[in-house]
Amino acid sequence: MAGMPEPRPIRRWLVAVTALAGLALVAGCTSSGRPVSPPSSAVTQLGAALAHWASFPVQAQIRPVVIAGGLQVDEPDRFPSVAAADAFTAGAIAIPSSLPSGPARLGSYELISASHAAAVLTSGSPASPAPSTRLTVTNVKLGAGIFATDRGRVALPAWRFTIRGVPSPAEVLAVAAAQRYWPSSLKQVSTTVSAAEPGRSGRALTLTVHGAPAGSGACEATYSIRQRSSAQAVAVDVIATVHDHGQNCAAAAEPVTLPLTLPAPLANRVLVDAQNSAPIPVTQPLTSSS
Q: What is the pLDDT of residues 123-176, one digit of tens each?
A: 988 888 889 999 999 999 999 999 999 999 999 999 999 999 999 999 999 999
Same domain (yes/no): 136, 232: no
Name the pLDDT band for 248 (thresholds 50, 70, 90): confident
| Same domain flag for 233 and 175 | no
Query: At a CB cut-off of 8 Å and minimum separation 6, what does 156 contact?
Result: 4, 7, 8, 65, 109, 144, 145, 146, 147, 149, 173, 174, 175
Q: What is the pLDDT of residue 16?
A: 32
| Residue-number span of the structural domain to which 169 is assigned | 68-179
Mean pLDDT check: name the lowest of 15-19, 155-159, 270-274.
15-19
Tell me if 257 sits within 8 A of 206, measured CB to CB. yes
Q: What is the spatial distance between Cα 185 and Cα 19, in angstroms, rounded to a whole number? A: 23
Q: How does the average pLDDT of the chain come out, rounded? A: 84
What pLDDT sits at residue 251? 65
Q: Rounded to two decimals, what is the model's pTM?
A: 0.79
3-state SS assignment for residue 84: helix
With H, G, I as helix, E, B as strand and everything else as coil, classify residue 89.
helix
Confidence label for 36 from pLDDT (cuts 50, 70 and 90)? very low
Helix (H) or strand (E) holding 26: helix 21-27
Residue 73 has pLDDT above 90, yes or no: yes
Note whether residue 1 is domain-resident.
no
Domain boundary among 150, 179, 208: 179
Q: Which of these, 162, 168, 88, lies nearest to 132 by C-alpha position? A: 88
* pLDDT at residue 287 in the model: 55
**Res 57 pLDDT > 50:** yes
Q: Tell whether 113 and 49 lie within a shared domain.
A: no
Give, rounded to a whole angstrom, the gap between the first and last alpha carbons of the chain. 21
With 80 as the cut, is the pLDDT of residue 194 above it? Answer: yes
CA pair distance 29, 12, nearest whole angstrom: 10
CA dihedral 50, 52, 57, 62 (to 10 degrees): -100
Q: Looking at the domain assignment, is residue 159 inside a domain?
A: yes
Residue 89 predicted with pLDDT over 50: yes
- Mean pLDDT, range 27-49, rounded to an integer: 58
Q: How far apart are CA 253 and CA 221, in angstroms?
A: 11
Length of the chain equals 290
**Residue 112 contacts residue 153 (beta carbons within 8 Å):** no
Residues 38 and 134 in one domain: no
Residue 72 and residue 161 in one domain: yes
Rounded CA separation 261/205 (Å) = 6
Residues 42 and 125 in one domain: no
Nearest to 15 by CA among 290, 224, 195: 224
Computed from CA positions of residues 27, 33, 37, 43, in that sequence, does the dihedral angle turn out positive or negative? positive
Q: Output the pLDDT for position 130.
A: 87
Kindly state whether residues 242 and 170 are assigned to the same domain. no
In this prediction, residues 239-244 reach a mean pLDDT of: 87
Among 152, 106, 190, 108, residue whose Cα is nearest residue 8: 152
- The domain boundary, picked from 130, 148, 179, lies at 179
Q: Are 198 and 285 in contact (CB under 8 A)?
A: yes
Instruction: Let me know whether 170 and 222 are in one domain.
Output: no
Percentage of the residues of the chain whose pLDDT score is greater than 70: 83
Residues 47 and 114 in one domain: no
pLDDT at 145: 93
259 in a structural domain: yes
pLDDT tier at 250, thresholds 50, 70, 90: confident
Task: Report which of residues 14 and 228 the model is more confident about.
Answer: 228
For residues 52 and 107, state if they share a domain.
no
Containing 42, the helix (H) or strand (E) segment is helix 42-52
Q: 3 in a domain, yes or no?
A: no
Do 49 and 81 fall within a single domain? Answer: no
* Residue 209, domain member (yes or no): yes
